[in-house]
Structure 1
């Protein structure tokens, strides 16, 4: 979840002051000025963005001050993250639920704002998507037309679909001609063990390192899905917010009455269902009996995550590296062909590694792993 501004680290507070100074200096610019905040998963980007947006809205709804009377929005192209921000809004008197939107409705309304904040900007569409009523070339370009200042949070290692595929070159091209200031956040603030975070970084790039044994973090490998699930239930009883997650390697269909299941050895649990409530998926107690995906867990902090690595994630003994088979990845909507032809096997492999990176960095206090493929499972156990 997102902490209060008072809970920010000294480094976060310094960047907060930098962003607020940038906003004040450029709030009347005719062409949108851009502050880009970059960093890996778990480095506190969303917490900082939330704190800055809250400070801006407090000024906007007060009399006097440089930002009084400004109209500002925070956009995020992820349903569950939007719900987290709605919860934040319900706890602050100067925030409103309407302050937070998904990008497409904001763009299609064509109403200008003074300052637009974008969380998880790598999830913005980078191609037309008529199904979601977006027909222009990319969402970042359209948002730049509607604001004096754009503050965006960006992590190019958290891209999950080809239709939202961004590269450094694409970002540079889109921001050409705009005043741009950048800041990079480093240091893992979610995972309580730097050694465990480094192990996950290596794993999400295909490299296998010996498992560390930190005193303040549990990093465990399981021989079957059942003991993994038992461990998660135990951690949930003791600490709360422990959930089972999985890569999208198991069949599922959206909006069906019957559940679709994840099979992990002897464990068989249903996938997460479409969440029509305003509460984030992981904050609902019954979801302890489901398996979460990037669609329900991205942006949410768990205490413990039990991650099932599905059939697309395997191991090559000759190279001692993780291998990826995109053909076995069941989320085929992630791989819908792009009209510009940017959908190589390397792009698809990178997306699956990004999904792994997101899932493995959800737990603050612990991570449990079970690999469906025997070769990978045995190698993990050997580590």
Structure 2
């Protein structure tokens, strides 16, 4: 708030970035901050924020539904305050307007190249938002970058922000998952360093973490949890047939057979629709959301390359999300592209593994990796 007031009073463009891992409360902070800003803007004629024109942006249709629902039950917040970035840019240009304060949730999902399919004809959404605003406050996590058209790193973000007065803050405490630091570190080693470290009994303290040899048994357990506490769903990485053609495409693992999530035309987020207990969610329907229990399928692209040292690798030929890896003019080195694509697949697993508040159940397609994890899990649960 101090940063915002200073920028407005000095009529100086500024950017404030909040960094934090999945589940560290970035969206909660941003949501409360926006409510405070709009209260001052619409009711306090003694405030420097009075009558400022402010917006909350998120490039995720499912998350946007949540914010609009919150606005519908709040007398200060309006549904029109919450927009997709492209809508915001195009509407301001159409009416020759500018914004005062803009908050951006999930800024790692902003487009960093033109995307004519989504009516974005510039080169970088964040850059265009800053041009049209006085103060920009955003939350960012480079380990949640999932698509080439939204390719970001901390270095790329810093290079874009260098011309502007800017400040940063890093959130470190995990609020979503009730798991301890030992299990969170195990997840980070698995997804960010592609290394399976030893499971220990401490990782199961106050958190329901399980490894399954049978995906169907895992499904039954998640259904039971959903009946008990609600908001429990099956999620999966890529590697199974998936095409946006309106038809159902199934994930099959032994006796397990369930369709991918369908496009959600309702105003209710996917995870809150009761019928989606019979679907498999993807990163596109669960990113940014809390689940009480998450059953995760690690699909065919991720496999155990080196059993002795627990090293994982990614087989890009088994990746089935064709929209994720569209070419970019600024990435031409084949080795670099391969490295980025593999990192994005592991990022998607990182996103999935940090959804469950009370528990995470895991099934792995690759037999070698599944055996290794089961051996470790049985070792600590049979004591």
Does residue 1:222 correspond to 2:212, yes or no? yes
- Looking at structure 1, the residues matched to 51 and 19 of structure 2 have their Cα atoms a distance apart, in angstroms, of 29
85, 89, 101: which is aligned to 2:83? 101
Counterpart in the other structure of 1:373: 366
* CA distance in 2: counterparts of 1:89 and 1:380, whole angstroms: 44
**1:290 maps to which residue?**
279
Contact 2:8–2:48 (CA<8 Å) still a contact in 1? no
Q: Deviations over 1:139-171 (max 9, x none)?
A: 111001111000000000000101100122211
Q: Secondary structure, in 3 states, of the residue corresponding to 1:377?
A: helix
Q: Post-superposition shift, 1:193?
A: 1.3
Match of 2:185 among 183, 195, 198: 198
Whole-angstrom distance in 2 between the partners of 1:173 and 1:239 = 45
- Conserved in 2, the CA contact under 8 Å of 1:125 and 1:165? yes
The Cα of 1:266 is off from its aligned counterpart by 1.6
Following superposition, which runs of at least 4 residues in structure 1 exceed 3 angstroms of deviation? 28-31
The 3 A distance-change label for structure 1 pair 329 and 28 is farther
1:40 aligns with 2:21: yes
Corresponding residue SS for 1:323: strand
1:169 matched to 2:150: no
Deviation digits for residues 321-345 of structure 1, max 9, x if unmatched?
Answer: 1211122110011011111125611
Determine the C-alpha separation between the residues in 2 that align with 1:320 and 1:131: 41
CA contact (8 A) 1:211 1:219 kept: no
Q: Distance in 1 between matches of 2:354 and 2:131?
A: 34
Match of 1:67 among 8, 29, 49: 49
Does structure 2 conserve the Cα–Cα contact (< 8 Å) formed by 1:34 and 1:180? Answer: yes
Look up the match of 2:355. Answer: 362
Give RMSD over aligned pairs. Answer: 1.3
Contact 2:20 2:141 in 1 (8 A): yes
Q: Is the 8 A contact 1:126 1:163 kept in 2?
A: yes
Cα deviations across residues 64-90 of structure 1 (Å, max 9, x unaligned)?
A: 122111111011111111111112212
Aligned match for 2:262, one of 265, 273, 276: 273
How many residues are paired up?
363
For structure 2, the residue ranges without an aligned partner over 5 or more in a row are: 377-383
CA–CA distance in structure 2, aligned partners of residues 296 and 117 of structure 1: 22
Match of 1:3 in 2: none
Q: Which residue does the alignment assign to 1:248?
A: 238
Instruction: Determine the C-alpha separation between the residues in 1 that align with 2:178 and 2:73.
Output: 27
Paired residues for 1:19-168 under 5 Å = 20-64=1-45, 65-109=47-91, 110=93, 111-168=97-154
TM-score computed with the length of structure 2 as normaliser:
0.92
1:160-208 C-alpha deviation (Å, 9 max, x unpaired)? 1011001222112211210001000001111101232222111112111
1:310 pairs with 2:294 = no
Normalising by the residue count of structure 1, what TM-score does the alignment of the two structures yield?
0.92
Does residue 335 of the first structure (1) align with residue 335 of the second (2)?
no
Kept in 1, the 8 Å contact 2:65–2:269? The answer is yes
* Displacement of 1:31: 4.6
Question: Matched residue of 1:27: which SS?
Answer: helix
TM-superposed CA distance for 1:30, in Å, is: 4.4
- Alpha-carbon distance in structure 2 between the residues aligned to 1:196 and 1:235: 21
Is 1:40–1:157's contact at 8 Å kept on the other side of the alignment?
yes
Q: Give the SS at the match of 2:359.
A: strand
Closer/same/farther in 2, CA of residues 29 and 74 from structure 1, 3 Å limit: farther
Pairwise CA distance, 1:373 = 1.2
Partner of 1:341, secondary structure, is: coil
Partner of 1:189: 175
Partner of 2:197: 209
Residue 132 of structure 1, CA deviation? 1.1
In 1, the alpha carbon distance for the partners of 2:159 and 2:10 equals 20
Deviation of 1:29 (Å): 4.8
